[in-house]
Structure 1
Amino acid sequence: MSFMKLAATTLAAACLALQAQAADITIRLAHLNPEDPFASHSGAMGAVFKSLVESNSNGRIEVQLFPNGQLGKDNEVIDQVRNGLVESAISSSGGMAQHYPLVGVFDIPFAFPNIGVASKVITKDSSFGKKFCSDLEAKTGLKVLGLLDSGGFFEFTNSKKPIRTIDDMAGLRIRTMTVPTQQTLVDSLGAKATPMAWSELYTALQTGVVDGEMNPVPIVAFAKFDEVQKYLSLTNHLITPYTWTMNEDFFKSLSPGDQYLVSWAADVATDAGRAMSRVIEASDKGLPALAKKMEVNTVAPEELKKFADASQPAVRKLIEEKFGDEGAQMLDALMTSIDEEKTDF
């Protein structure tokens, strides 16, 4: 090795050593999805958050990313955050439901008229978002850093037939999250809800344990469900939240300046994640790519009304029975917030 190369190598090693010494705070951030920021919204969130926090703290705060469910199932990781074993997590409603069941109010089907309204409501700064996040924090002891949609509207995929009418749902075994409201939604449409963890889903679809599932287009794409599902039916029947939380004691242990940095970086990263979902939906990584391998159909509006008429009352009844006045009030707050954001075109 030449003297110049040796000097450069030594200098690089010294810089790395200094960086390691300078990082006196570590934030471990876990999520379910791919790390690639161009493949999933939580991948984009993690990448932006890491970049902003580390650069603006001059490396004093290190962010370690744990994508693809590396630390366990969704609900297990939330347990780890609550117990201080992990500092932060971006979680689906399925994982959060086992810690904060009222997240199920989002499962009222056909509530959001379009993605624009959903983007304005499913944020911690909306009138509903403030109520929702405050209640979640009070009941779980978690600090909410961000709230956004899970990647877009849910659609149905299956391996048996295209879904064009509500009658086509009959007998299909559809995987849901382990959330009672989602199970009721699917059952009310004539299908058979089969709750299971995300980590088990691909194999279950591949082996025929379930016939289908429901997820936003970006999730169907990055999970490669086109490899094990033939039909994609666009129903836009549901949109659920991803909740970004942090261990409250850890957050409080940070200096006021670092709290501001973490909160600001999370806000920017959440916006990036929301935008990335829209980009993926419209790009060759989203619906156009799936349409090359799957038979895609859009359910007609008159048929969607039949879906809504069958499922909305059933899910509302469950929410009111399961959560009482508290559930009814939270659901009413959600619907009011949606009405506030509706725009006539």
Structure 2
Amino acid sequence: MMISLKKLAVTALAATAMLASPAFAQKTIRLAHLNPDSPFDSHSGAMAAVFKSLVETGTNGSIKVQLFPNGQLGKDDEVIQQVRDGLVQSVISSAGGISAHYKMVGVFDMPFAFPNIGVVHKVMDLGSPFGQKFAADLSAKTGLKVLGLLDSGGFFAISNSKRPIQTAADLGGLRIRTMTLPTHEATVKSLGGQPTPLPWAEVYTALQTGVADGQMNPVPIIAFAKFDEVQKFLSITNHVITPYVWTMNQAFYDGLTAEERAVVDSAAAVAVDAGRGISRIIEASADKGLPKLGQRMQVNAIPEAELQKFAAVAQPAVRAVIEQQLGAEGIDMLDAMLANIEQVK
């Protein structure tokens, strides 16, 4: 019987974990993420490369970092579980993956909450009042150490194979792939679309075969995923911006020396800055960003007045889902985020 590469990799990691003894255990951080390993093609690739370099040099080799890009160890939520179980030490995860373990991540999905990327950088950060509240709550509920919090690559745009999105009515009937987030599904549904939740690994094929008419993602992700090969239209909606959450197994982190923890924390902070920077560069670059997508796709921006109509419909729908799914605690977290946005914008 053939064993899948993902199952084989996870089995090998489990065996390594069981065989390690205190006397001979090597401090190795197995760091997984969904995206390409090139630091110039994805923000998580940049983060992983910077983290590896800084940790290995900063600890003089007492900690080794092994990278597992491109979802090699399984789906996002599966790898998070591996980190919780101690089979993998760390993972940079999408909101969709995190939501299976910590549903409060859905508060980020309030449409049109963030006015610009500068405000995103200030609020979606472990150093912000909201970031500290969010990370503490996530850690309390999952047992995971939060190493970093940043955007998933920029504001979301909507691509599809049918027509340009000029008004909310243009979304009517379109099957739009979403992450498995009720808030994303509510956004699409409120605007007349048909939400089609699918794992990341299935998105390209779904767009290619017509299982989904379109999808929504930041421009850098649309570019490196080559969705321009299977989509005709790209509409710059900037309707939502979701986080990537970087976590580590708490027991592993606690088992490091104080000096090693300081290096890991510092390396993660610098790596997050690198991830943000490469996302902005990719967005603007002629060969990887919006200019590249414009070579194959018809790109259109939506006037602010029309976007306000989008927001008037979508915001109440998403707030209702947050209240239904997360209760008063969710509304409290959402309002803390909105208050932090108001403070810094």
TM-score by length of 2: 0.92
Pick from 272, 277, 280 the counterpart of residue 279 of structure 2: 277
- For residues 25 and 60 of structure 2, what CA distance do their matches in structure 1 show? 9
- For residues 61 and 247 of structure 1, what CA distance do their matches in structure 2 show? 15
Match of 2:65 in 1: 63
Match of 1:15 in 2: none
Match of 1:197 in 2: 199
Question: 1:31 Cα deviation (Å)?
Answer: 0.2
Match of 1:336 in 2: 339
- What's the secondary structure of 1:213's corresponding residue? strand
Match of 2:10 in 1: none
Q: Give runs of aligned pairs for residues 51-200 of structure 1, distance below 5 A.
A: 51-200=53-202
What amino acid sits opposite 1:264 in the alignment? S
Given that residues 142 and 247 in structure 1 are in contact (C-alpha distance below 8 angstroms), is that contact kept between their aligned partners in structure 2?
yes
Structure 1 residue 240 corresponds to structure 2 residue 242: yes
Match of 2:298 in 1: 295
Poorly superposed stretches of 4+, deviation over 3 Å = none
- What's the secondary structure of 2:268's corresponding residue? helix
- For residues 26 and 221 of structure 2, what CA distance do their matches in structure 1 show? 35
- For residues 142 and 284 of structure 2, what CA distance do their matches in structure 1 show? 36
- For residues 44 and 93 of structure 1, what CA distance do their matches in structure 2 show? 19
Structure 1 residue 324 corresponds to structure 2 residue 327: yes
- For residues 43 and 23 of structure 1, what CA distance do their matches in structure 2 show? 27
How high is the sequence identity, in percent, across the aligned residues?
65
- What's the secondary structure of 1:72's corresponding residue? coil
What amino acid sits opposite 1:56 in the alignment? G
Q: Residue by residue, what CA displacement relative to the aligned partner does 1:20-40 show, whole Å, maximum 9, x if unpaired?
A: xx9931100000000000000
- For residues 128 and 281 of structure 2, what CA distance do their matches in structure 1 show? 23
Q: Residue by residue, what CA displacement relative to the aligned partner does 1:128-172 show, whole Å, maximum 9, x if unpaired?
A: 000000000000000000000000000000000000011100000
RMSD: 1.0
Match of 2:3 in 1: none
Given that residues 173 and 193 in structure 1 are in contact (C-alpha distance below 8 angstroms), is that contact kept between their aligned partners in structure 2?
yes
What amino acid sits opposite 1:103 in the alignment? V
Given that residues 23 and 59 in structure 1 are in contact (C-alpha distance below 8 angstroms), is that contact kept between their aligned partners in structure 2?
no
Single out whichever of 22-31 and 67-76 deviates more from structure 2.
22-31
- For residues 344 and 101 of structure 2, what CA distance do their matches in structure 1 show? 29
Question: 1:58 Cα deviation (Å)?
Answer: 1.8
What amino acid sits opposite 1:46 in the alignment? A
Match of 1:257 in 2: 259
Question: 1:322 Cα deviation (Å)?
Answer: 1.5
What amino acid sits opposite 1:207 in the alignment? T
- What's the secondary structure of 1:29's corresponding residue? strand
Given that residues 155 and 236 in structure 1 are in contact (C-alpha distance below 8 angstroms), is that contact kept between their aligned partners in structure 2?
yes
Pick from 228, 231, 252 the counterpart of residue 230 of structure 2: 228
Match of 1:307 in 2: 310
Question: 1:191 Cα deviation (Å)?
Answer: 0.3
Structure 2 residue runs of 5 or longer lacking an equivalent are 1-23
Question: 1:61 Cα deviation (Å)?
Answer: 1.1
Q: Residue by residue, what CA displacement relative to the aligned partner does 1:227-276 show, whole Å, maximum 9, x if unpaired?
A: 00010000100000000000000000101111111111001001100111
Question: 1:57 Cα deviation (Å)?
Answer: 1.6
**Bigger radius of gyration among the two:** 1
Given that residues 23 and 60 in structure 1 are in contact (C-alpha distance below 8 angstroms), is that contact kept between their aligned partners in structure 2?
no
- For residues 323 and 118 of structure 1, what CA distance do their matches in structure 2 show? 23
Given that residues 154 and 235 in structure 1 are in contact (C-alpha distance below 8 angstroms), is that contact kept between their aligned partners in structure 2?
yes
Structure 1 residue runs of 5 or longer lacking an equivalent are 1-21
What amino acid sits opposite 2:74 in the alignment? G
Question: 1:98 Cα deviation (Å)?
Answer: 0.4
Match of 2:41 in 1: 39
- For residues 73 and 181 of structure 1, what CA distance do their matches in structure 2 show? 20
Given that residues 145 and 246 in structure 1 are in contact (C-alpha distance below 8 angstroms), is that contact kept between their aligned partners in structure 2?
yes
